[in-house]
């Protein structure tokens, strides 16, 4: 398989994943924090990865029919009224 065909197949897979998951909205960490502070209940998914010794935190939640996500170098405080799941990884489509 040529590189171009492989890249085309990968792009098609990404597009199908986006269709299956609905609209994913990337926002800044400060906006994500503001959004979850308004939520009375719900679920927040957190993932921590290390890259060259530096930690990166990814967060995702659903709000008003949309999926919101962000990436930051600082751990967020999740309100105790929200359920939190620690995931091994969160994948955001490019």
Q: In the chain, what are the domains?
A: 23-87 (3.30.720.90)
pLDDT of res. 69: 95
Tell me what pLDDT residue 76 has: 96
Coil, strand or helix at 52 = coil
Q: What is the DSSP letter of 87?
A: E
What pLDDT, in 10s, does the model give residues 21-79?
Answer: 567 899 999 999 999 999 999 999 999 999 899 999 999 999 988 899 999 999 999 99
pLDDT at position 83, please? 97
- Give the per-residue pLDDT at 17: 60
CB 78 within 8 A of CB 35: no
């Amino acid at each position: 398989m040529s590189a171009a065909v492989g890249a085309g197949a990968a792009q098609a897979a990404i597009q199908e994943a986006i269709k299956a998951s609905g609209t994913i909205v990337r926002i800044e960490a400060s906006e994500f924090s503001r959004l979850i502070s308004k939520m009375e209940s719900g679920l927040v998914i957190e993932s921590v990865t290390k890259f060259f010794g530096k930690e990166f935190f990814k967060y995702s939640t659903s709000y008003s029919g949309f999926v919101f996500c962000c990436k930051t170098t600082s751990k967020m405080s999740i309100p105790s009224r929200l359920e939190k799941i620690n995931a091994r990884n969160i994948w955001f489509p490019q």
